[in-house]
Every structure is written in C-alpha cells, then in structure tokens.
C-alpha cells in the first residue's frame, strides 16, 4: 500500500511475461478444497465494498484480536473493508488447508510479514496481501516467498517530488523522459514493483526504496537491478506487473523459478 505520507544502470534482468489465466468464481461454487503445485501462484482479487448488511456476518470467522482491530477504525468504510479483507483471507486459505476459516492461526516475521502457523511437512503454503481503495489482492503459493502490491492510480500531490526522494536516479530519469500524461501511471507502476520485492523479502518499508532499481514504464517488461541493496536483494525474483481491475496497477514478486500465474476473481 502506498504510504508516502507515513515516511518523513546496467546488468538488468529482463522480465519475461508470466502466462496469466483468469478465473471468476463465486463463493457458492467454490470447491471444498483448492490444490496448489510448486509451479503455480494463485492471486485472488477481492472486492472490499460489499452491500450494506453483508459485512457483520463475516465477524464470526475472525479472531478476538482481529475483532479488536476492527473496532479501532474511526470510519465505517475502513472498518468494513478490514473485516472483508481478513474474512476473505481466512476463507481462501481455509480452502487450501482443508480446515475451517476460524481455525487458521497466523504468525508474524520481524517486520510484521504474516505467515501461516502450525503447518505440516507436506509443503508450506505462503501468502501475501495488498489492498488499495476498494480491492485487495491475496497471493498464495506453495514453498515460495511471495510479495504482492496493488495501487489505485489517482492524482498524488507533487508526485515527481516524492519520486526524487524515494526513487533511484535512473528511475527518476526514466519518469522525466515520459510525457506528462504517462508519468502518474508509471509512478504507481514503479512503486508496486519496488514494494512487491520488499514484501517478498520480508522487510516491507523497513528497507530503503533507493536500494532497489526497477523499470518504470507499464508497457515494458519488468526489470530490476540485483545487488544494489547488498545481500538482502541478491536472490533472484520473478516479477510480473498487470492490471487486476480497471484503474489499478499491481505487481507480483515471487522467488524463482518463474511460476504460472492464475488470477481468481472472487465474486462473493
């Protein structure tokens, strides 16, 4: 999630497009269990703004801690979106684990990255979540480190000034070469590519954005320059940027080898 307001080239690897399969599934037609294989990553696109009266029943699957967090939101829309996001995350993961949504337990890394607790040795299911405005993306993979970021493309005050603070010199040069009408889209595309890698590594915004150098143009293959951030970013990552919904840009980062991506549209 873009959080600018919270924070006071050579040797590129060319991104190869992931084959994307899009599937629309309603809750009533979900299979009892969902299967994963090591060469596939599923990304669920979840609408967060549900009809009035349909959010409160979802509380039954949340933990006590999650319900307390929901109660701390000042604005009703933020509370509702949080409930939908957490409830859908639990219901989706429950299909892969073959368990009840309320029986899922989470643990958290040093920088707050969530993971599933108490998994057996049959394979570790990894996931990552991102939200922006009215949608959330939930990436799920088997024995993979994952990071996903989604952003709603909207006007940002002094976007180029923010880029000069948080982007690399090469990224800023690429942005400035673009026509004005293309700069905002490229700005958000660049942001999602950088944050997806940081989330996959597990640091989130605890690591400086300037230590990652990525391509900015939405119509170009995703590229990034490894090694600029030292050993933290030496692992190779497969990246794919795409548009999960109208007005949004997103990037999935996954530890190589490159997976096949299946995009599920949740229509609960």
Q: What would the pLDDT profile of 67-83 be if each residue is shown by its tens digit?
A: 999 999 999 999 999 99
Interacting residues of 134 by C-beta distance below 8 A, sequence separation 6+: 47, 48, 49, 81, 152
Distance of CA 147 to the CA centre of its chain: 5
Which is more confident, 171 or 206? 171
The pLDDT assigned to 17 comes to: 34
For range 167-193, the mean pLDDT = 91
Percent of the chain topping pLDDT 70: 76
In the DSSP assignment, the letter for residue 203 is: -
pLDDT at 238: 83
CB 232 within 8 A of CB 201: yes
Q: Which residue has the tokens 């309603």?
A: 26
111-166 confidence digits (pLDDT tens): 788 899 876 655 689 999 999 999 999 999 998 889 999 999 999 888 999 899 88
Please compute the mean of the pLDDT values over residues 240-261 and round it to a whole number: 90
249 touches 243 (CB < 8 A): yes
Residue 223 has pLDDT above 80, yes or no: no
Longest dimension (CA), the chain: 54
Superfamily of domain 9-266: 4'-phosphopantetheinyl transferase domain (3.90.470.20)
Beta strands of the chain (E only): which ranges?
13-14, 20-25, 40-47, 106-108, 114-116, 125-132, 135-142, 146-152, 223-224, 237-242, 248-255, 260-266
Look at residue 10 in the predicted model and tell me its pLDDT.
Answer: 28
DSSP, collapsed to helix, strand or coil, labels residue 210 as helix
Each residue's pLDDT tens digit, 35-61: 888 899 999 999 999 998 899 899 999
pLDDT at 11 over 50: no
CB within 8 A of 100, min separation 6: which ones? 61, 94
């Amino acid at each position: 999630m873009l959080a600018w307001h919270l924070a006071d080239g050579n040797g590129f690897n060319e991104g190869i497009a992931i084959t994307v399969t899009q599937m629309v599934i309603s809750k009533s037609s979900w299979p009892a269990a969902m299967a994963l294989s090591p060469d596939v990553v599923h990304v669920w696109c979840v609408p967060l703004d549900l009809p009035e009266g349909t959010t409160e029943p979802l509380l039954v699957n949340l933990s006590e801690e999650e319900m307390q967090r929901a109660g701390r939101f000042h604005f009703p829309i933020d509370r509702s979106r949080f409930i939908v996001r957490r409830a859908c995350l639990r219901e989706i993961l429950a299909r892969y684990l073959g368990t009840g949504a309320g029986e899922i337990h989470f643990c958290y890394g040093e920088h707050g990255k969530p993971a599933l607790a108490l998994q057996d040795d049959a394979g570790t299911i990894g996931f990552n979540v991102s939200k922006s405005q009215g949608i959330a993306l939930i990436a799920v993979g088997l024995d993979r480190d994952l990071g996903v970021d989604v952003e709603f493309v909207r006007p940002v005050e002094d976007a180029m000034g923010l880029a000069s603070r948080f982007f690399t010199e090469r990224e800023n040069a690429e942005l400035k070469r673009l026509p004005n009408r293309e700069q905002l889209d490229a700005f958000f595309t660049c942001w999602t590519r950088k944050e997806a890698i940081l989330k996959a590594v597990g640091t989130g915004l605890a690591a400086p954005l300037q230590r990652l150098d990525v391509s900015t143009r939405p119509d170009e293959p995703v590229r990034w320059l490894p090694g600029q951030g030292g050993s933290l970013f030496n692992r190779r990552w497969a990246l794919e940027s795409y548009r999960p919904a109208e007005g949004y840009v997103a990037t999935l980062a996954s530890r190589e080898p490159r997976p096949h991506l299946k995009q599920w549209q949740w229509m609960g």
